Amino acid sequence: MNIQSNSMPESFQAHTIAAATIPARQALLWSVRRELWENRAIYLAPPGVAGVFLLGFVISLAHLPAKIRAISSLDAMQARAVVAMPYDFGAGLMMATAILVSVFYCLDALHSERRDRSILFWKSLPVSDTTTVLAKTSVPFLIMPVLAAVAGAVLQFLMLLLSSAVLLASGQSTAVATLWKQLPVMPMSLLLLYHLLTAHALWPAPVYAWLMLVSGWARRAAFLWATLPLVVIGALEQLLFHSSRFLVMVGHRFIGKANANVSTPDQIFPTNPMTHITPGAFLSNPELWIGLAVAVLFLALAIRLRRSAGPI
Largest CA distance in the chain: 96
Is 147's pLDDT higher than 60? yes
Let me know if residue 4 belongs to a domain. no
pLDDT at 7 over 70: no
The answer to whether residue 206 sits within a structural domain is yes
Domain membership of residue 42 (yes or no) is yes
- Which of 212, 167, 191, 206 minimizes the C-alpha distance to 267? 191
At residue 72, what is the residue type? S
Assigned domain for 105 exists: yes
Q: How far apart, in whole angstroms, are the C-alpha atoms of residue 222 and residue 218?
A: 6
How far is the CA of 162 from the CAs of 119, 218, 309, in angstroms? 48, 48, 52
Residue 300 has pLDDT above 90, yes or no: yes
Banded pLDDT at 269 (limits 50, 70, 90):
low
- DSSP-derived letter for residue 126 is S
Per-residue pLDDT, averaged over 37-47, amounts to 93
pLDDT digits (tens, 9 = 90+) for 242-257: 888 888 888 888 876 5
What's the whole-model pTM score?
A: 0.84
pLDDT digits (tens, 9 = 90+) for 97-134: 999 999 999 999 999 989 888 888 888 888 889 999 99
Q: Cα separation of 213 and 230, whole Å? A: 14
Is residue 69 domain-resident? Answer: yes
Is there a domain that residue 120 lies in?
yes
Q: Which domain holds residue 254?
A: 25-307
> How many domains does the chain contain in total?
1
Residue 13, domain member (yes or no): no
Residue of 190, 212, 14 lying closest to 107 (CA atoms): 212
How far is 173 from 164, CA to CA, in rounded Å? 8
Lowest mean pLDDT among 51-55, 252-256, 292-296: 252-256
20 falls within a domain: no
